[in-house]
């Protein structure tokens, strides 16, 4: 398992875009591609979005989430929860100039929002090996 988790982490390190799924108010999954800002292995993944985006509205009501990424036939699906980051230090650390197109007032833009995904379950398909882990990683 450690080897698969390490390989999954290496794949995620190279991914710029991941798919993040929220749960709509009607109970449907809503997957969207998002730019990954940072990751700590596969356990914690940070992305930015708008404070008033659909996904942020959904995560305020229901923290349950799915996240997936892939590379060259290998894929990882994670299930976990999302929290909305309010720590200004983290928001400053993760802000990049390319975000100015979305958040023209920079870190202080009220629309600038960081989401942190924390994995609880994983399904790996790596090097033709399939493993599903239902307990905390």
Segment 20-33 shows an average pLDDT of 97
Residue 134: predicted pLDDT: 74
| Percentage with pLDDT > 70 across the chain | 96
Q: What is the DSSP string of 21-48?
A: EEE-TTS-EEEEEEEEEEEETTTEEEEE
Q: Which fold has domain 2-133?
A: Pnp Oxidase; Chain A (2.30.110)
Return the DSSP state at 93: H
Residue 136: predicted pLDDT: 60
Q: 32: Cβ–Cβ under 8 A, 6 or more apart, which residues?
A: 19, 20, 21, 22, 55
The CA-based diameter of the chain, rounded to the nearest angstrom, is 46
Residue 17: predicted pLDDT: 97
The tokens for 51 are 């404070």
Q: How far apart are CA 130 and CA 8, in angstroms?
A: 12
* pTM, two decimal places: 0.93
For 53-112, how does the pLDDT look when each residue is reduced to its tens digit (9 = 90+)?
Answer: 999 999 999 999 999 999 999 999 999 999 999 999 999 999 999 999 999 999 999 999
| Short-list 91, 89, 18, CA closest to 51 | 91
Q: Which residue has the higher pLDDT, 133 or 10?
A: 10
Whether 120 shows a pLDDT value over 60: the answer reads yes
Across all residues in the chain, what is the average pLDDT?
A: 95
Domain map of the chain by residue range? 2-133
């Amino acid at each position: 398992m450690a080897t698969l988790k390490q390989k999954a982490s290496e794949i995620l390190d190279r991914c710029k875009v991941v798919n993040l799924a929220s749960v709509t108010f009607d109970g449907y999954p809503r997957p969207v591609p998002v730019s990954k800002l940072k990751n700590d292995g596969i356990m914690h993944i940070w992305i930015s979005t708008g404070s008033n985006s659909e996904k942020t509205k959904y995560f305020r009501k229901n923290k349950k989430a799915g996240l997936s990424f892939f590379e060259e036939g290998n894929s990882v699906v994670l299930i976990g929860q999302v929290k909305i980051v309010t720590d200004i230090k983290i928001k400053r650390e993760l802000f990049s100039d390319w975000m100015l197109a979305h958040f023209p007032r920079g870190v202080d833009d009220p629309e600038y929002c960081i989401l942190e995904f924390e994995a609880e379950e994983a399904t790996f398909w790596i090097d033709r090996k399939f493993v599903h882990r239902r307990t905390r990683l």
